Structure 1
Amino acid sequence: MNCGLYIMGGFLSGNASPPMSTGILDIIAVAAVATGILIWLVRKLVKMNQRIAGFQHIFNHTNDALMLIDIVDGKIIYANHGSVKLLGYTLENLCQKTIFDLHERDQLARSSEIIARVYEEKGLIYSDLPFVSAAGEKIAVECSARVEDFEGKPVIFISARDIRERLKMQEQIKAQSTIIEQKNKDLIDSITYAKNIQSAILPSLTAMQKAFKDMFVLYIPKDIVSGDFYWYASLHTTNSTDLAAANTPMDIVASVDCTGHGVPGAFMSLVGYTLLNQTVNMPDVNTPADVIDFMHRELVNTLNKKKDEIVINDGMDMSVCAIDQVNNKLIFAGANHELFHVRNGKLEIINGDKQAIGIQSIENYKPYTNHSLDLQKGDTIYLFTDGFQDQFGGEKNKKYRGAKLREFLMAIQHKSMPEQKELLKQEFDSWKGINEQVDDVLIIGIRL
């Protein structure tokens, strides 16, 4: 007791402490280590409980089938109610099975391969391995699998979604797509055949080249069929006019741009071509202006026979040239079109009337105007629709414009007309680039 007091007195009085035995120090050290381990285990346990709680939250708040799989033997460690609903097993039954039991027997190799790949890649999404339900039904699923840490060991966490309805919809869409593709093919085939008909009614280039030794026709439809067309006829005037005597031989050339392009434009072109052919046999039609006047009247009458039932506001723009190669005369009339006349390095623009064919009513329309030119050997004329100059392209993706077309034509005047056609085609393609063609293209060039 006194020793105890002495020791206590020594501590209290600040006197030197008696030496402590080595055994006591070892006990203290072991206790400190044990305390550290205990704290680490507690923290680990807390984290594990938090992770388990996280898994439980996910498992209990999703409609997808979720399972934890032992990475060693494929045993199902845990499953949620979504798995029960999808597969038809009880939770107890599921937890007595392996992931391999949920696949068809002939898919065991594929199932093992999936497990191995998930482990190697730490994650995988696949949809080529269906489940088999308790009733033996094959169930198409999309699975997302990844490696997770659960209770201190790696497991595979699989989330499986029933995709039977999705696949059914995909099959329906595929079937509808097949039907649409076939209908589209039938439609394209029909339009392609219509192109053959449209091409057949266009004038013979051989006949045009016989009349004009140096000429070209650049014709680039936007679609399979076109709303632009050209027309040619060789005839004699019936009656005498102030522009030409009766029985004067004339070569008539026209460029026509119908409203729209593609199928609607092609239908209009057939109407226009038919009406132009009728002008040949009309004794009162003797000049280009007469041709356009006739076209206007007949188009209005043709398209408005049922004006109380159907309203048609379509029409066409047109250039018509009558060329008298005996007397070196040219007569031009235009409906919203112009004519380029090149002589001795200078280009002259001859404007037509600012009035479309067939759109204005008979009461509001004004007769079209003839323009007469004296021709010289080497003169060049161009008739065209607006598709070339309206094409978007170039560095700034702008319209080509009429001024640029005139500049280009002047730059290639030294070339023959067939060469000019090729150069114009190259210029158009280069300008258009990757852009879609906006309209049908038609340019007729004739060197006299």
Structure 2
Amino acid sequence: MKEKITGYSGSYIKNMFRIISIASAIICIAVIITAILGYTNTKESLINKAKSQDIVFIVKSMSAKIDSRISRAIETSYIFARDPLNIEWVKGEEQDKEYGEIIQNKMDSIANSYDYNNFFTAVIKSKHYYRANSKKNDNGENYIILQEDNPEDKWFWSVLKSKKTIDFNIGYDSVTKNTFLFVNTIMGSVDDPVGITGVGMNINEITKEFKEFKVGKESNLWIIDDKGIIQLSDNVEDIGKKYSEFVPEGVVNNIENNSTDAKQEVKVSQYSKENNKIVDYSYCKLSSGDWTLFYEIPRTESISLLDSLRNNTIINVILVLAFFMILFYFISKKIANPYEQAILMNKELENKVKMRTQELRESNQKINDSIEYAKRLQESILPSLEELKKSFMENFLIWKPKDTVGGDFFWLREIEDVLVFVVGDCTGHGVPGAFMTMTVNAILHNIVNTINKEDPSMILQELHIQLRQALNKNSNPSSVDDGLDIAIFSIKKKASLIYAGANIELYIKREGEVKVFKPQTRGIGYRDIELKENLKNEIIQIQEGDIFIVTTDGFIHQNGGERKYPFGKKRLRNMIKECEFKDFESIKSRFENTMEVYKGNEEQRDDITVLGFKIK
């Protein structure tokens, strides 16, 4: 009778375990190597295609489109500038009204036929500026007079000084309230000109075309002049800056060294950022002028298809490895020691946890770095303490965002003898609030410098309109309904203070009493708020010793005290009345200490800004 077999010997189990382990390892290595080689080859192919075809196509297509627009504008303005009838009428000091009507009809016809946003003629001797489709004023005149001290008219004198037959400039047209790329052509000779005629192309329409051609969120598409200044971009904030602020010095030198190459010849190269990210860029000279079309895109975006390929490859490798791991698990469970298997699995899990923890730590660090950078950006647009000291006789400032960055801001601009000062509270706090402050800052800068600096109510209304336009609320009902509370002050010759506010009050302490000036409206920029056309300013004659205090609602709405109620306007008014204004540092300490004691262990609810100042 044969002996019954009850199990395997120890040596058999060890050999079997060794064979299975080696076979599994060889198969896994083969799968991984195959995946890596396939991924690498595909990556190289996509990179070569992006650099030799995709980027070149974008630059060629966009340059052809821009050249076509500018060339047509140059040809149109040049022919008009050389028209004998036009020159004769200008030399005749515009006395012949019949000629004038003919020329005006010509400009109207050209603008309508070629769909130009602006077509104009400027007479050098009289400084008269005629534009297509213009209406006559109350005096029966269809022109405006250019003035050398008007910033919007400086282009006229710049073109004359350039001594160029054809010149370009970016300018704002106050009639149409749009920014244009102007093609200016001298009438007569550059040494003895009689006028300037030209075409204006709307920047918004060109930037829309830029966005259609752009690929990737972090890519840039610019038109750069011969001085290295960005003249056109899909990002309006980049216009007017030097492109050397955005790219390394080596890229700038490379473009300048190839500036004499044939026009429309596309050059392609690459550079590395500080974080070792590779950026591919391409550029070419426009045939219509001395400008350069420049396009750059991070390689991670130009070959984004690799993300899908990499993910699929990883999934396939994981599935294959998982299959062999499961197979090995069941085999080893039958022939190996379960305790040793448990130890191995525990170590594997520990390694995975460590890797995941490291990934989370790195992700968290990137987020913190981004927020810290946003903080530096926000602080860079706020007036410095030195600027406040220069503008006010005495002042104190408390600016405490709830998070690293926030939606509260203050803004200062001094133009001639007028000081414009703003305190605002944008919707939300943190990074969203900070982005809103930057948007409002840019709009305020445009309004005060180009529209009005002495009438806070007009600034308030214009800010309401432009902010809604910037946030696309008029044409897109589903857009985010963001806005802000704001107080705007215009101080002229330190004699009078003009105030207009939206949901932010002004407190004045005068001779021991506190007077409160109410805002004229609720917040601005919101979809459901329509401002009255007849908003009135509060005009305050400044007396010696007057103390002005303004605060956002973060201070008033802070919870605290025994009942955890908000601090409130009444408590704030009493504190101002009781406070002895010996010096502004002590006032600031009083505000901060009072709030800390009242807040206790409660968290800060909102961004807090308090500003006090004395003018004389």
TM-score, normalised relative to structure 1: 0.58
Q: Render the CA deviation track for 1:179-224: whole Å, top value 9, x for unaligned.
A: 2232111111111011111111111221221121210111011111
Q: Is the 8 A contact 1:352 1:369 kept in 2?
A: no
Alpha-carbon distance in structure 2 between the residues aligned to 1:263 and 1:204: 21
Q: Render the CA deviation track for 1:217-255: whole Å, top value 9, x for unaligned.
A: 11011111110000111124xxxxxxxxxxxx2222110
Partner of 1:263: 431
Match of 1:195 among 341, 350, 375: 375
Partner of 1:51: none
Q: Is the 8 A contact 1:315 1:359 kept in 2?
A: yes
Alpha-carbon distance in structure 1 between the residues aligned to 2:541 and 2:598: 35
Q: Render the CA deviation track for 1:34-61: whole Å, top value 9, x for unaligned.
A: xxxxxxxxxxxxxxxxxxxxxxxxxxxx
Give 1:324 shift.
2.6
Q: Render the CA deviation track for 1:2-58: whole Å, top value 9, x for unaligned.
A: xxxxxxxxxxxxxxxxxxxxxxxxxxxxxxxxxxxxxxxxxxxxxxxxxxxxxxxxx
Q: Is the 8 A contact 2:453 2:490 kept in 1?
A: no
Partner of 2:469: 301
Give 1:352 shift.
0.7
Q: Is the 8 A contact 1:387 1:438 kept in 2?
A: yes
Q: Is the 8 A contact 2:418 2:454 kept in 1?
A: no
Q: Is the 8 A contact 1:385 1:442 kept in 2?
A: yes
Does residue 279 of structure 2 align to residue 279 of structure 1?
no
Give the direction of change, closer, same or farther, for the CA distance of 1:170–1:136 in structure 2 (3 Å limit): closer
Give the direction of change, closer, same or farther, for the CA distance of 1:290–1:306 in structure 2 (3 Å limit): closer
Alpha-carbon distance in structure 2 between the residues aligned to 1:411 and 1:171: 64
Identity %: 32
Does residue 536 of structure 2 align to residue 369 of structure 1?
yes
Give 1:283 shift.
3.7
Residue pairs, 1:202-241, within 5 angstroms: 202-236=382-416
Give 1:272 shift.
0.6
Amino acid at match of 1:438: R
Give 1:338 shift.
0.9
Higher RCO, 1 vs 2 (CA within 8 Å, ≥6 residues apart): 1
Give 1:173 shift.
5.1
Alpha-carbon distance in structure 2 between the residues aligned to 1:371 and 1:199: 30
Partner of 2:419: 251
Give the direction of change, closer, same or farther, for the CA distance of 1:307–1:180 in structure 2 (3 Å limit): farther
Give 1:353 shift.
2.1
Partner of 1:86: none
Alpha-carbon distance in structure 2 between the residues aligned to 1:175 and 1:293: 55
Residue pairs, 1:347-366, within 5 angstroms: 347-360=514-527, 364-366=530-532
Give the direction of change, closer, same or farther, for the CA distance of 1:278–1:207 in structure 2 (3 Å limit): same
Match of 1:436 among 603, 609, 613: 603
Give the direction of change, closer, same or farther, for the CA distance of 1:184–1:343 in structure 2 (3 Å limit): same
The structure with the largest helix share of the pair is 2
Alpha-carbon distance in structure 2 between the residues aligned to 1:415 and 1:173: 60
Alpha-carbon distance in structure 2 between the residues aligned to 1:165 and 1:289: 71
Alpha-carbon distance in structure 2 between the residues aligned to 1:392 and 1:164: 54
Alpha-carbon distance in structure 2 between the residues aligned to 1:262 and 1:416: 32
Give 1:418 shift.
1.9
Question: Larger radius of gyration, structure 1 or 2?
Answer: 1
Give 1:178 shift.
3.1
Q: Render the CA deviation track for 1:58-85: whole Å, top value 9, x for unaligned.
A: xxxxxxxxxxxxxxxxxxxxxxxxxxxx
- How large is the Cα RMSD of the aligned pairs? 2.8
Amino acid at match of 2:483: G
Alpha-carbon distance in structure 2 between the residues aligned to 1:391 and 1:178: 38
Alpha-carbon distance in structure 2 between the residues aligned to 1:340 and 1:256: 16
Alpha-carbon distance in structure 2 between the residues aligned to 1:446 and 1:420: 11
Q: Is the 8 A contact 1:258 1:315 kept in 2?
A: yes
Give 1:431 shift.
2.0
List alignment gaps of at least 5 residues for structure 1: 1-89, 91-132, 141-161, 237-248
Alpha-carbon distance in structure 1 between the residues aligned to 2:477 and 2:464: 21
Partner of 2:480: 312
Partner of 2:356: 176
Q: Is the 8 A contact 2:514 2:576 kept in 1?
A: no
Alpha-carbon distance in structure 1 between the residues aligned to 2:591 and 2:340: 62
Does residue 353 of structure 2 align to residue 186 of structure 1?
no
Residue aligned with 1:331, SS: strand
Q: Render the CA deviation track for 1:393-445: whole Å, top value 9, x for unaligned.
A: 22222211111112222222333112211221222222222221111000110
Partner of 2:501: 334
Alpha-carbon distance in structure 2 between the residues aligned to 1:415 and 1:166: 69
Residue aligned with 2:409, SS: strand
Give the direction of change, closer, same or farther, for the CA distance of 1:345–1:186 in structure 2 (3 Å limit): same
